[in-house]
Chains A and B, each alone.
Chain A
């Protein structure tokens, strides 16, 4: 139990996917303009990351390893992820328009979020078992959501700030992310 907790804490804070590991940055920058959107994105990402780490684990252990075709890993993972995501999108769009409004538009973006493939690949390099894989995926997503939401709340505040013209927009967002990442250095060592 403690191990699982530490793994979770480690992925959320110490090795935060966005600020420390540099994964999933494009959506981090792209959809963090508004708190509401960020929350939608967070939920969507959490769902997809968890499912992706689960399904890629299955593909890895039951298809790739037995057949000795690890070199097809990237291809098969991304295929699985893309299909899962797109299928989810279609279903959500049809069955629950309100949920779709919240998550749907972000789902296609997630396929190309490298955090998703990153989780799948890191799971195999770190040789996580099934449960660990899921926890890792979930933790990564929580870490992503966590900083995304904080970041978007900050950016909302930034909207009214008197930022010098050249720094407006992406630049100040990057600098803010940099300072966040600076703060996250404080977590180094929490999990040795």
Chain B
């Protein structure tokens, strides 16, 4: 159980793929114009990550080293194509909005990164949970960044939720403020980078506070090792 908790903390915070490992940045920055786009892509990514982690973990013992990467990407590509087809069929507008970034989940570095770093070394239940935690951690950042940009750029939140969740979700849309001069920077490419930079800085500040608290409680000392004197 403890291990699951650790994986969750890793995925959402300590080793968050987006803000710590800096992986999967392309979709992260490209599709976070709105919360809903972010959420959509985040969920798709999570799905793929879950699937690929499970599969990779299952087959990890049969895969020779030199064809490891081709096999992993093939596995990922399969999940992505399936997700893509499904989204194409059921959430068509969202599919259009996310554009080329759905097939590009294949090369989302976060996914292959987890396959290599975790799934290929750990049993399947952990791998699955890791995939889930990492995926949701990633989604969390997508949503937060999407929220920031949507709020500043359009003054709304959850605009277009119906694309993802069906007609009922139209009512989720929140109009926070209206002006005739939207802060366009937020939705343009530079805004994505700047927003992400600020997000990372915010995380660093929080970490700093946490660490300061933790520091008071514990102080570790490392046992020194000796080179000499043992085998004479």
Contacts and interface: CB of A to CB of B under 8 A. Distances in A.
B228 to A, nearest CB: 36
A29 B25 contact: yes
Nearest to B202: A166
B197 to A, nearest CB: 3
A29 B104 contact: no
B66 A74 contact: no
Counting chain A CB atoms within 10 Å of each CB, the highest count among B66, B84, B107 belongs to B107
Interface residues of B, number: 48
A121 B100 contact: yes
A165 to B, nearest CB: 7
Interface stretch (B56-64, B90-98, B108-116, B175-183): B108-116
B107 A29 contact: no
B103 A181 contact: no
B74 A185 contact: no
Given A74-B81, A185-B190, A26 B106 contact: no
Interface in A163-189: 165-175, 177-179, 181-182, 184-185
Contacts of A49: none
Q: Provide the main secondary structure of the chain B interface.
A: helix
A122 B100 contact: yes
B42 interface: no
A167 B192 contact: no
B107 A30 contact: no
Contact of A82 (B23, B70, B196): B70
B106 A185 contact: no
A167 B201 contact: yes
Contacts of A86: 66-67, 69-70
Given A25-B25, A182-B190, A75 B108 contact: no
Contacts of A185: 188-190
A150 interface: no
B89 to A, nearest CB: 12
Interface of A: 19-26, 28-30, 71-75, 78-79, 82-83, 85-86, 90, 108, 111-114, 116-118, 121-122, 125, 165-175, 177-179, 181-182, 184-185
Given A23-B26, A112-B73, A178-B190, 11 more contacts: A22-B26, A22-B27, A78-B74, A82-B69, A82-B74, A112-B109, A116-B107, A167-B204, A171-B200, A177-B197, A181-B192
Q: Which 6 A-B pairs have the closest CB atoms?
A: A178-B193, A174-B197, A25-B25, A175-B197, A114-B107, A22-B30
